[in-house]
Structure 1
């Protein structure tokens, strides 16, 4: 722990506060470094959601992402114009248009993920001991579980 508290003495509230601060800082720092052709946060979020969950409508995506349909419309328009999404007729209801991630969209997501991973790996390689790397590796599944249970 940052203030030297033994792990056996840690209380959940203190751990929660320290995790919130440290993970928040990590996320902000990762977002600060721009990658050429990088997606905006809303673009990345929408594209990643569609890639993970499959095709849906713009209005359904707005609801899932908890943003206004107008904001999602602007995000979708930008992704469509860059060729990262395409619209197709819904096979179950020809009146609806579904958003699909294109191969270029998948490549953009992959490039973004790879760049962020490389950014982290470079820092880990140059500034952390093997023991610290093992401890971080052991913590990663716990942090993922924490995120899934929120």
Structure 2
């Protein structure tokens, strides 16, 4: 293994550990009772993707369509997503986030973002915050790369 490969592996491990810790803390801060973390993740994906089929959603989340169907059914039961016929293929349904789902998603994000913003303000220098701001799009690109 050359030095670049070793650095890539070390960096990947450090990112994985840090994001795991961040994910656990985010889960702890998430207090929407009836909605599970996986359901919130799917709701956020629908929000980002716009109208989407269960099959496409399952592919993006790397789970089976059957498992995604169960998650979507729960979101529908809570009134957080809506299903409508695909105008291009009436055999398929498209999922969208309902008004209630959008409100819940944004309030959850706002709560977690508020906690993070407070932690950044209390524990990080301006330069460190700028570094994290520059890293955020790179982390998103990394997540989409594999």
TM-score range, shorter chain: 0.7 to 0.9
Unaligned 5+ runs, structure 1: 1-9
Check if 1:65 corresponds to 2:61. Answer: yes
Give the C-alpha shift of residue 131 in structure 1: 3.8
Give the structure 1 partner of residue 8 of structure 2: 12
TM-score by length of 2: 0.77
* Structure with bigger RCO (C-alpha 8 Å, 6+ apart): 2
TM-score by length of 1: 0.76
Which secondary structure state, in structure 2, belongs to the residue aligned with residue 25 of structure 1? helix
The count of aligned residue pairs is 141
RMSD of the TM alignment (CA)? 2.5
d(CA) in 2 for partners of 1:77 and 1:90? 18
| 1:116-127 equivalence runs, <5 A | 116-127=112-123
Check if 1:29 corresponds to 2:25. Answer: yes
d(CA) in 2 for partners of 1:140 and 1:148? 13
Give the C-alpha shift of residue 60 in structure 1: 3.5
Give the C-alpha shift of residue 113 in structure 1: 1.5
Work out which of the residue numbers 94, 97, 114 in structure 2 matches 1:98: 94
Unaligned 5+ runs, structure 2: 1-5
Check if 1:53 corresponds to 2:49. Answer: yes
Query: Does the 8 Å contact 1:38/1:112 carry over to 2?
Result: no
**CA 1:95 to 1:148, structure 2 compared with 1: closer, same or farther past 3 Å?**
closer
d(CA) in 2 for partners of 1:29 and 1:43? 17
Larger Rg: 1
* CA deviations over 1:82-140 (Å, ceiling 9, x no partner): 11111212222333332222122222221122111111112122222334333333433
